[in-house]
Structure 1
């Protein structure tokens, strides 16, 4: 197997998340090598292969049904795995990227699993609403320069309203509360202290700052 596949097949672990996905993805990656193994002269001439156990392994590897199912499962879980890795990252904060990442994840599942995405979306939506959904995610998304300028989020009144609600909740007695709206406008127009962010500089290189 190592000669045909170039390495071992990754097996599910006891402590890492998404281990079933990792194992199935590894199998799919080495599909051709595994098929070559079971069709090789050495395997055909191997006397111990004539058992029920080896046949139960050989049959799905050389057939198509098993691989179709593996491909379907990987197509569903892969976008979820990408988001899980992003959230599990201890180096880069994910708060400002989680909200759009969930939307992109659902879109990817719809494309990769057109026959299954509805029930998968139902599970994701249920988990999001019960455990993850919070105004902070939307506010952080709105204030993330990576998305704010490229997607023109300033025009999304629902997101602006959430930002104001979060600010009111966190700083109910702040003396500068009356100027918060104008600070958001400065952020949108990339003026003052908001000019220094790399994403802002990139945006300003392509288009001039808009006036009120």
Structure 2
């Protein structure tokens, strides 16, 4: 359960805004659980059913997927990120839901090419050195992509909470005692 506790600590932590990290942390937790069970699906299947049920009803949102895409630390470390259907679908869904203007949506998609290619300020040596140091919501390198930058800051600055999980733990504690 250690990997799941790390995800919950990340969600409720105060060290850095977690929105850009939750999706990736949950993927790592799943990988860790699979390795613990020697990649034998028959051993971890029931665990995943429980985890997925909680994940899908309380934590997994399109905003987390979009935050994963918009986190430069994760995006540039994984060149295959844009091939992940769930990630790109979540990102596009967030664009359409959070940006009412079709003209601005189209500008964001045009600006996305700059982000993907690491063009201009996105690819400067200073920006590269700050990817793992600076919180993704505070990244201000997108001057050449102002519409995408504004949406990224809006998404990555959102707060998260594990209070739903804490309510469960409280109920479990009463049952146990």
TM-score calculated relative to the size of structure 1: 0.53
- Runs of 5+ in structure 1 lacking a partner? 1-76, 204-212
Deviations 1:96-125 (A, max 9, x none): 111111111112112224574222111100
User: Residue 157 and residue 79 in structure 1: after superposition, are their counterparts in 2 closer, same or farther (change >3 A)?
Assistant: closer
User: Residue 185 and residue 108 in structure 1: after superposition, are their counterparts in 2 closer, same or farther (change >3 A)?
Assistant: same
1:145 equivalent in alignment to 2:72: yes
Give the aligned length.
127
Ranked by relative contact order (alpha carbons within 8 Å, sequence separation 6 or more), the top structure is 2
Paired with 2:122 and 2:84, the residues of 1 have a C-alpha distance of: 20
1:99 equivalent in alignment to 2:11: no
- Runs of 5+ in structure 2 lacking a partner? 132-177
Deviations 1:49-75 (A, max 9, x none): xxxxxxxxxxxxxxxxxxxxxxxxxxx
Paired with 1:82 and 1:154, the residues of 2 have a C-alpha distance of: 26
User: Residue 197 and residue 120 in structure 1: after superposition, are their counterparts in 2 closer, same or farther (change >3 A)?
Assistant: farther
User: Residue 160 and residue 197 in structure 1: after superposition, are their counterparts in 2 closer, same or farther (change >3 A)?
Assistant: farther
Matching residue within 90, 104, 108 for 1:162: 90
TM-score calculated relative to the size of structure 2: 0.62
User: Residue 160 and residue 109 in structure 1: after superposition, are their counterparts in 2 closer, same or farther (change >3 A)?
Assistant: closer
Aligned partner of residue 136 in structure 1, secondary structure:
helix
